[in-house]
Homo-oligomer: A and B are copies of this chain.
Amino acid sequence: MANFKGHALPGSFFLLFGLWWSVKYPLRYFNEKGNKKSHRNHSYQRLDVIEGAAKIIFAMIGMLAEQFVPDGPHLYLYSGEERSWVKLMNWQHTTMYLFYGLSGVVDVLTYSPLKLPLGMDRLMLSVAVFVEGFLFYYHVLHRPMLDKHIHSLLLIAVFGGAFGILLEVFLRDNIVLELFRASLAILQGTWFWQIGFVLFPPRGGPAWNEEDHDNIMFVTMCFFWHYAAALLIMIANYMLTYCCIQRCKRDTGEIDIGLGVRKQKSDTSSHVALLNGSDEE
Protein backbone atom coordinates (compact mmCIF):
# COMPACT_ATOMS: atom_id res chain seq x y z
CA MET A 1 0.00 0.00 0.00
CA ALA A 2 1.64 3.19 -1.11
CA ASN A 3 0.20 5.24 1.70
CA PHE A 4 0.89 6.11 5.31
CA LYS A 5 -0.55 2.91 6.77
CA GLY A 6 1.38 0.75 4.32
CA HIS A 7 4.58 2.08 5.90
CA ALA A 8 3.37 2.23 9.50
CA LEU A 9 2.39 -1.45 9.55
CA PRO A 10 5.79 -3.01 8.68
CA GLY A 11 7.44 -0.25 10.74
CA SER A 12 5.54 -1.39 13.80
CA PHE A 13 6.44 -5.03 13.19
CA PHE A 14 10.16 -4.25 12.94
CA LEU A 15 9.99 -1.95 15.96
CA LEU A 16 8.29 -4.61 18.08
CA PHE A 17 10.88 -7.24 17.16
CA GLY A 18 13.79 -4.83 17.62
CA LEU A 19 12.66 -3.73 21.07
CA TRP A 20 11.95 -7.30 22.13
CA TRP A 21 15.42 -8.43 21.00
CA SER A 22 17.06 -5.49 22.76
CA VAL A 23 15.67 -6.90 26.03
CA LYS A 24 15.86 -10.64 25.32
CA TYR A 25 19.53 -10.90 24.35
CA PRO A 26 20.99 -8.87 27.25
CA LEU A 27 18.79 -10.96 29.59
CA ARG A 28 20.18 -14.21 28.20
CA TYR A 29 23.68 -12.78 28.26
CA PHE A 30 23.51 -11.89 31.95
CA ASN A 31 21.98 -15.23 32.83
CA GLU A 32 24.75 -17.05 31.02
CA LYS A 33 27.45 -15.06 32.78
CA GLY A 34 25.91 -15.65 36.20
CA ASN A 35 25.25 -19.36 35.95
CA LYS A 36 27.99 -20.86 33.86
CA LYS A 37 27.76 -24.29 35.32
CA SER A 38 24.04 -24.80 35.57
CA HIS A 39 22.04 -26.65 32.97
CA ARG A 40 20.72 -25.11 29.82
CA ASN A 41 17.00 -24.99 30.14
CA HIS A 42 14.61 -24.96 27.28
CA SER A 43 13.01 -21.58 27.94
CA TYR A 44 14.99 -19.91 25.19
CA GLN A 45 14.06 -22.61 22.73
CA ARG A 46 10.43 -22.08 23.59
CA LEU A 47 10.92 -18.35 23.09
CA ASP A 48 12.38 -19.02 19.64
CA VAL A 49 9.33 -21.08 18.70
CA ILE A 50 7.02 -18.29 19.93
CA GLU A 51 9.05 -15.74 17.93
CA GLY A 52 8.65 -17.94 14.87
CA ALA A 53 4.91 -18.12 15.39
CA ALA A 54 4.77 -14.32 15.85
CA LYS A 55 6.62 -13.89 12.55
CA ILE A 56 4.09 -16.13 10.80
CA ILE A 57 1.16 -14.19 12.27
CA PHE A 58 2.67 -10.78 11.42
CA ALA A 59 3.42 -11.96 7.89
CA MET A 60 -0.17 -13.21 7.49
CA ILE A 61 -1.55 -9.87 8.71
CA GLY A 62 0.74 -8.01 6.32
CA MET A 63 -0.17 -10.18 3.34
CA LEU A 64 -3.91 -9.98 4.00
CA ALA A 65 -3.73 -6.21 4.49
CA GLU A 66 -1.84 -5.73 1.21
CA GLN A 67 -4.30 -7.91 -0.70
CA PHE A 68 -7.64 -6.88 0.77
CA VAL A 69 -7.41 -3.15 1.41
CA PRO A 70 -10.11 -1.41 -0.64
CA ASP A 71 -7.67 -0.53 -3.46
CA GLY A 72 -5.79 -3.83 -3.26
CA PRO A 73 -5.60 -6.58 -5.89
CA HIS A 74 -7.83 -9.03 -3.97
CA LEU A 75 -5.60 -11.91 -5.17
CA TYR A 76 -6.07 -10.98 -8.85
CA LEU A 77 -2.68 -10.92 -10.57
CA TYR A 78 -3.54 -10.44 -14.24
CA SER A 79 -6.51 -8.67 -15.70
CA GLY A 80 -7.52 -10.42 -18.91
CA GLU A 81 -9.73 -7.52 -20.05
CA GLU A 82 -7.16 -4.78 -19.77
CA ARG A 83 -4.34 -7.16 -20.64
CA SER A 84 -2.24 -5.77 -17.77
CA TRP A 85 -0.95 -6.74 -14.36
CA VAL A 86 -3.05 -5.78 -11.35
CA LYS A 87 -1.54 -3.65 -8.56
CA LEU A 88 1.99 -5.00 -8.76
CA MET A 89 3.14 -2.79 -5.87
CA ASN A 90 0.83 -4.64 -3.48
CA TRP A 91 1.96 -7.97 -4.90
CA GLN A 92 5.62 -7.04 -4.32
CA HIS A 93 4.87 -6.12 -0.71
CA THR A 94 3.00 -9.40 -0.34
CA THR A 95 6.12 -11.20 -1.57
CA MET A 96 8.27 -9.47 1.06
CA TYR A 97 5.91 -10.57 3.83
CA LEU A 98 5.83 -14.09 2.36
CA PHE A 99 9.57 -14.57 2.93
CA TYR A 100 9.34 -13.37 6.52
CA GLY A 101 6.54 -15.91 6.93
CA LEU A 102 8.77 -18.66 5.50
CA SER A 103 11.47 -17.61 7.96
CA GLY A 104 8.93 -18.06 10.77
CA VAL A 105 8.05 -21.53 9.48
CA VAL A 106 11.72 -22.55 9.50
CA ASP A 107 12.10 -21.16 13.05
CA VAL A 108 9.27 -23.42 14.21
CA LEU A 109 10.56 -26.46 12.27
CA THR A 110 14.02 -26.06 13.84
CA TYR A 111 12.66 -27.22 17.18
CA SER A 112 10.25 -29.81 15.76
CA PRO A 113 11.17 -33.51 15.73
CA LEU A 114 12.54 -32.92 12.20
CA LYS A 115 15.49 -31.13 13.77
CA LEU A 116 16.52 -28.87 10.92
CA PRO A 117 20.26 -28.16 11.12
CA LEU A 118 21.13 -25.29 13.48
CA GLY A 119 21.83 -22.16 11.49
CA MET A 120 19.06 -22.84 8.98
CA ASP A 121 16.75 -20.46 10.85
CA ARG A 122 19.31 -17.65 10.68
CA LEU A 123 19.97 -18.34 7.01
CA MET A 124 16.25 -18.09 6.20
CA LEU A 125 15.92 -14.83 8.13
CA SER A 126 18.94 -13.49 6.25
CA VAL A 127 17.38 -14.58 2.95
CA ALA A 128 14.12 -12.85 3.88
CA VAL A 129 15.98 -9.60 4.59
CA PHE A 130 18.01 -9.90 1.36
CA VAL A 131 14.78 -10.46 -0.61
CA GLU A 132 13.28 -7.34 1.00
CA GLY A 133 16.43 -5.46 -0.01
CA PHE A 134 16.48 -6.62 -3.63
CA LEU A 135 12.76 -5.97 -4.07
CA PHE A 136 13.14 -2.43 -2.69
CA TYR A 137 16.16 -1.87 -4.88
CA TYR A 138 14.29 -2.59 -8.13
CA HIS A 139 11.11 -1.12 -6.69
CA VAL A 140 12.15 2.51 -6.46
CA LEU A 141 14.15 2.91 -9.66
CA HIS A 142 11.62 5.16 -11.39
CA ARG A 143 10.39 7.47 -8.67
CA PRO A 144 10.93 11.11 -7.70
CA MET A 145 14.35 11.87 -6.23
CA LEU A 146 13.32 12.18 -2.57
CA ASP A 147 11.23 9.00 -2.69
CA LYS A 148 14.15 7.12 -4.22
CA HIS A 149 16.67 8.51 -1.76
CA ILE A 150 14.60 7.86 1.36
CA HIS A 151 14.13 4.23 0.32
CA SER A 152 17.78 3.79 -0.66
CA LEU A 153 18.80 4.84 2.85
CA LEU A 154 16.56 2.05 4.09
CA LEU A 155 18.70 -0.31 2.02
CA ILE A 156 21.72 0.49 4.23
CA ALA A 157 19.81 -0.87 7.22
CA VAL A 158 18.42 -3.78 5.22
CA PHE A 159 21.65 -5.04 3.66
CA GLY A 160 23.64 -4.30 6.84
CA GLY A 161 21.15 -6.42 8.74
CA ALA A 162 21.16 -9.18 6.13
CA PHE A 163 24.97 -9.50 6.29
CA GLY A 164 24.94 -9.46 10.09
CA ILE A 165 22.36 -12.26 10.21
CA LEU A 166 24.38 -14.20 7.63
CA LEU A 167 27.35 -14.06 10.00
CA GLU A 168 25.10 -15.45 12.74
CA VAL A 169 24.75 -18.65 10.71
CA PHE A 170 28.39 -19.33 11.52
CA LEU A 171 28.76 -17.42 14.80
CA ARG A 172 25.53 -18.44 16.47
CA ASP A 173 24.61 -16.93 19.84
CA ASN A 174 27.14 -14.14 19.41
CA ILE A 175 25.79 -11.38 21.63
CA VAL A 176 27.45 -8.59 19.61
CA LEU A 177 25.81 -9.70 16.36
CA GLU A 178 22.46 -10.19 18.09
CA LEU A 179 22.49 -6.68 19.54
CA PHE A 180 23.55 -5.32 16.15
CA ARG A 181 20.56 -7.07 14.59
CA ALA A 182 18.27 -5.61 17.25
CA SER A 183 19.58 -2.08 16.64
CA LEU A 184 19.03 -2.35 12.87
CA ALA A 185 15.52 -3.73 13.39
CA ILE A 186 14.65 -0.69 15.53
CA LEU A 187 16.20 1.55 12.87
CA GLN A 188 14.10 -0.05 10.13
CA GLY A 189 11.02 0.28 12.27
CA THR A 190 11.40 3.99 13.00
CA TRP A 191 12.55 4.72 9.46
CA PHE A 192 9.42 3.12 7.94
CA TRP A 193 7.39 5.48 10.12
CA GLN A 194 9.57 8.40 8.98
CA ILE A 195 9.08 7.47 5.31
CA GLY A 196 5.33 7.42 5.91
CA PHE A 197 5.44 10.89 7.48
CA VAL A 198 7.60 12.37 4.72
CA LEU A 199 5.92 10.90 1.64
CA PHE A 200 2.33 10.94 2.94
CA PRO A 201 2.14 13.81 5.44
CA PRO A 202 -0.80 12.85 7.64
CA ARG A 203 -3.77 15.14 8.25
CA GLY A 204 -3.02 17.48 5.40
CA GLY A 205 0.38 18.72 6.57
CA PRO A 206 2.51 20.52 3.98
CA ALA A 207 3.92 18.20 1.32
CA TRP A 208 7.71 17.96 0.99
CA ASN A 209 9.33 19.28 -2.14
CA GLU A 210 10.58 16.04 -3.66
CA GLU A 211 13.25 17.65 -5.84
CA ASP A 212 14.81 20.04 -3.30
CA HIS A 213 18.44 19.07 -2.71
CA ASP A 214 18.36 20.43 0.84
CA ASN A 215 15.58 18.03 1.70
CA ILE A 216 17.74 15.18 0.45
CA MET A 217 20.61 16.34 2.65
CA PHE A 218 18.38 16.65 5.68
CA VAL A 219 16.85 13.22 5.14
CA THR A 220 20.31 11.61 4.89
CA MET A 221 21.34 13.14 8.19
CA CYS A 222 18.01 12.33 9.79
CA PHE A 223 18.51 8.64 8.95
CA PHE A 224 21.67 8.56 11.05
CA TRP A 225 19.96 10.44 13.87
CA HIS A 226 17.41 7.63 13.89
CA TYR A 227 20.29 5.20 14.27
CA ALA A 228 21.82 7.25 17.09
CA ALA A 229 18.42 7.16 18.81
CA ALA A 230 18.20 3.39 18.24
CA LEU A 231 21.62 2.98 19.85
CA LEU A 232 20.59 5.05 22.86
CA ILE A 233 17.44 2.92 23.25
CA MET A 234 19.64 -0.19 23.08
CA ILE A 235 21.97 1.15 25.79
CA ALA A 236 19.02 2.15 27.99
CA ASN A 237 17.39 -1.28 27.66
CA TYR A 238 20.73 -2.95 28.35
CA MET A 239 21.15 -0.91 31.54
CA LEU A 240 17.58 -1.57 32.67
CA THR A 241 18.05 -5.29 32.17
CA TYR A 242 21.32 -5.14 34.09
CA CYS A 243 19.64 -3.36 37.01
CA CYS A 244 16.73 -5.81 37.08
CA ILE A 245 19.07 -8.77 37.12
CA GLN A 246 21.17 -7.20 39.88
CA ARG A 247 18.10 -6.53 42.01
CA CYS A 248 16.82 -10.08 41.49
CA LYS A 249 20.16 -11.47 42.55
CA ARG A 250 20.28 -9.28 45.64
CA ASP A 251 16.73 -10.27 46.61
CA THR A 252 17.01 -13.98 46.07
CA GLY A 253 20.67 -14.83 46.24
CA GLU A 254 21.67 -16.02 42.81
CA ILE A 255 18.57 -18.05 42.00
CA ASP A 256 17.36 -18.86 38.56
CA ILE A 257 15.12 -15.99 37.48
CA GLY A 258 12.55 -17.84 35.48
CA LEU A 259 13.96 -17.53 32.02
CA GLY A 260 16.71 -19.74 33.18
CA VAL A 261 20.20 -20.39 32.03
CA ARG A 262 22.28 -22.24 29.52
CA LYS A 263 25.06 -24.52 30.46
CA GLN A 264 28.58 -24.04 29.22
CA LYS A 265 28.05 -26.76 26.69
CA SER A 266 26.19 -24.24 24.58
CA ASP A 267 29.50 -22.47 24.04
CA THR A 268 30.95 -25.60 22.60
CA SER A 269 27.98 -26.05 20.34
CA SER A 270 28.47 -22.52 19.07
CA HIS A 271 32.07 -23.46 18.36
CA VAL A 272 30.94 -26.54 16.53
CA ALA A 273 28.39 -24.55 14.57
CA LEU A 274 31.26 -22.53 13.19
CA LEU A 275 33.45 -25.43 12.35
CA ASN A 276 30.97 -28.00 11.23
CA GLY A 277 27.39 -27.09 10.51
CA SER A 278 26.46 -30.72 10.28
CA ASP A 279 26.78 -31.17 14.01
CA GLU A 280 24.06 -30.53 16.47
CA GLU A 281 23.36 -31.62 19.99
Residues of A within 8 A of B (CB): 28-29, 32-33, 84-85, 88, 91-92, 95, 98-99, 102, 106, 109, 114-117, 119-120, 123-124, 127, 131, 134-135, 138-139, 142, 156, 169-171, 173-177, 179-180, 213-218, 220-221, 224-225, 227-228, 231, 235, 238-239, 242, 267, 270-272, 274-280
A92 to B225, CA, bound (A): 10
Query: Which residues does chain B contribute within 8 Å of A32, judged by CB atoms?
Result: 278-279
Tell me whether A277 and B214 are in contact in the complex, defined as CB-CB below 8 angstroms, given that A98-B228, A109-B235, A123-B180 are known contacts.
no
Contact indicator B275/A214 (Cβ below 8 Å): no
Query: Which residues does chain B contribute within 8 Å of A95, judged by CB atoms?
Result: 221, 224-225, 228
Contact indicator A29/B131 (Cβ below 8 Å): no
Tell me whether A134 and B117 are in contact in the complex, defined as CB-CB below 8 angstroms, given that A214-B84, A277-B175 are known contacts.
no
Contact of A231 among B102, B277, B279 (CB under 8 A): B102
